[in-house]
Amino acid sequence: MSQYIRPQQQVGGPHSALDADAVRAAYRRWAGVYDPVFGGISGWGRRRAVAEVNRLPGSQVLEVGVGTGLALPHYRADKRITGIDLSSDMLKRARARVHAQRLGNVEALLELDAESTGFADAAFDIAVAMFVASVVPHPRQLMAEMRRVVRPGGHILFVNHFAAERGLRWWAERTLAPASRALGWHPDFTSSALFTAEERARTRFAPVPPFGLFTLASLRN
């Protein structure tokens, strides 16, 4: 697999709440402090997702939104990992992690648009996206792309925050929604924004600590 592919120049259309520039700018701000600030609270979800990947059959794994590579050391050595991210700042840190920890099963880290990767159809056995679905401008397009690049019978996994349907958290999430561009994600993101009704019916959802704030969703392609 090629180690270099020209990055896409735009994610989504001009009216998207989070276009490519917004995502890059947000993660340029967060890149230097991402691990200490978000690594802890997101750690449970990453470990659960990687444990599920390690359990599943197949060796070719695509990690969508690899970020600084926090999950990379936890994959089994027989899983061959390709990671993609839109943020060059985050990828620099992921590459440094791979080098420092000598992670020989990481085959490539590429600056790519998750909604249009350029990979061949059915190139992977498993695709996993951790804390990505509420960042991309077009979540259904992300899902379609993941389904395209995963072989029939392979597996697609998400760890993400999905908005509450009622209560105090519902109010807080919708209050924060106008700040999406500054945050770099959608606090009011719903599962129906990602899954069609048919996909949702076939998806297994499991709450992830802390406090069930995140959910592991797994779907057979």
pLDDT score of 179: 36
Q: What is the pLDDT of residue 44?
A: 83
pLDDT computed for residue 137 by the predictor: 84
Give the tens place of pLDDT for each residue, 41-65.
Answer: 667 888 999 999 999 999 999 999 9
Q: Can you read off the two tokens belonging to residue 122?
A: 């059915």
With H, G, I as helix, E, B as strand and everything else as coil, classify residue 23. Answer: helix
Query: Which has more pLDDT, 186 or 64?
Result: 64
| CA distances to 30, 181, 193, 213 from 187, in Å | 17, 11, 12, 11
State the DSSP H helix or E strand holding residue 158, giving kind and residue range, or none if neither: strand 150-160
Determine the average pLDDT of the residues in 153-159: 97
SS3 18: coil
User: Three-state SS across 37-94?
Assistant: HHHHHHHHHHHHHHHHHHHCCCCEEEEECCCCCCCHHHCCCCCEEEEEECCHHHHHHH
**Lowest pLDDT segment from 13-27, 34-48, 104-118:** 13-27
Its pTM surpasses 0.85:
no
* High-pLDDT (> 90) share of the chain, %: 54
Residue 23 pLDDT > 60: no
Give the length of the chain: 221
List strands edge to edge, sheet with 124-130: 106-111, 80-85, 60-64, 124-130, 150-160, 214-220, 204-208
Rounded CA-CA distance 72/37 in Å is 18
For the cut 90, the answer to whether the pLDDT of residue 84 exceeds it is yes
Give the mean model confidence (pLDDT) for residues 106-115.
96
Predicted confidence at residue 161, as pLDDT, reads 80
C-alpha–C-alpha distance, residues 129 and 101, integer Å? 22
pLDDT of residue 58: 98
Task: Tell me the mean pLDDT in the region 199-218.
Answer: 87
User: Which domains are delineated in the chain?
Assistant: 20-220 (3.40.50.150)
